[in-house]
Structure 1
């Protein structure tokens, strides 16, 4: 496993605190995985938007009870704004997509502002 943290410095080289995107996702996203015979229904809700995808139970050897977040975490700077990408995983082998977390400035810190879900079959 390889893990790194993001560090952001202001013009005077003081570190700016950034809210953990996985914590934001875990607080603001609800998920549920329902197994019914040979079908697995994966449900995710974030900021009043709902997503559901149905899989065949045989697509994975085991399924989580809820979606796991953050086993893969990426950051990028786009148009001078930091964006975090938090993976969403329904089973050890099934990634359903990622949560795209935007940030806003809150005093000397950066706070999560908007979270959107991008399914794994959507173009980036």
Structure 2
């Protein structure tokens, strides 16, 4: 009789453990993302969605919707609504259909703003985009000297030389040479993608801005020309 009771008790305990484990599994189920439209094109045909109910500085895993089709990408953009993505529907090649341009901000701060651009066909095929920082290095030469309490920076581009002198007291920190890449921006103008790279001489001072204009070649955007505009 005692042996029978023991078997019954063990059976009850086993069932209880099984239920507990099942409950644990249920509790560990992944909660579906609640996607919110954070940006859209002016014509409303393209939108960017993300789960904004997360902690942290970055929204990770972006869903792109083109008309009634969606696809998720492992893109990242900052969670600050001020810097939500820019979404454009622009024709930047010779095809009849517009391309989708998505400009993401991946970081920002004092004297720094990092952007990333994605160009896609309407079937979600992504075009390769030449790295603007590496691309402009093929076109420009820079130099820096310090003379008589002045910081002198020079930039040579397209057979032109740009030079500017700064008083030592204008900044608390001076770069050893002109710095590119702390700030990178993008825009579309006259059906061309343009990358903007300010030429920094200190965290808060600039010589001007280098602009790289892209051309479409096959399934790739390459830098076709580079210009420089001096800081006023």
Same fold (TM over 0.5): yes
Larger Rg: 1 or 2?
Answer: 2
Could you list the per-position Cα deviations for residues 39-88 of structure 1 after superposition, in whole angstroms to 9, with x for gaps in the alignment? Answer: 22110012222101111111112221110002111111111111111111
2:169 is the alignment partner of 1:58: yes
Q: Find the aligned partners of 1:100 and 1:49 in 2 and give their Cα distance.
A: 15
Work out the CA distance in 1 between the residues paired with 2:115 and 2:179. 19
Equivalent of 2:219, from 92, 102, 108?
108
Matching residue within 136, 139, 143 for 1:25: 136
Matching residue within 195, 199, 223 for 1:88: 199
Q: What is the total number of aligned residue pairs between the two structures?
A: 121
Q: TM-score, normalised by structure 1?
A: 0.89
Higher relative contact order (CA 8 A, sep 6+): 1
Cα deviation per residue 1:65-120 (whole Å; 9 max; x = unaligned)? 11000211111111111111111101122112110110111221010111111111
Match of 1:37 in 2: 148
Distance in 2 between the 1:57 and 1:7 partners? Answer: 40
Which range is displaced more, 81-90 or 18-27? 18-27
User: Given that residues 43 and 51 in structure 1 are in contact (C-alpha distance below 8 angstroms), is that contact kept between their aligned partners in structure 2?
Assistant: yes
- Higher-strand-fraction structure: 1
Kindly report which structure 2 residues correspond to 1:61-72, keeping only aligned pairs within 5 A, or say none: 61-72=172-183
After the TM superposition, which segments of 4 or more aligned residues of structure 1 sit over 4 Å from their partners? none
Q: Give distance in 2, aligned partners of 1:4 and 1:115.
A: 19
Q: For the residues of structure 2 that align with 1:37 and 1:8, how far apart are their CA atoms?
A: 48
Q: Which consecutive unaligned segments of at least 5 residues does structure 2 have?
A: 1-106, 109-113
Q: Tell me which residue corresponds to 1:48.
A: 159
Alpha-carbon contact 1:33-1:90 (below 8 Å) kept: no
Structure (1 or 2) with the greater helix fraction: 2
TM-score w.r.t. the length of structure 2 is: 0.49
Contact 2:171 2:202 (C-alpha < 8 Å) held by counterparts: yes
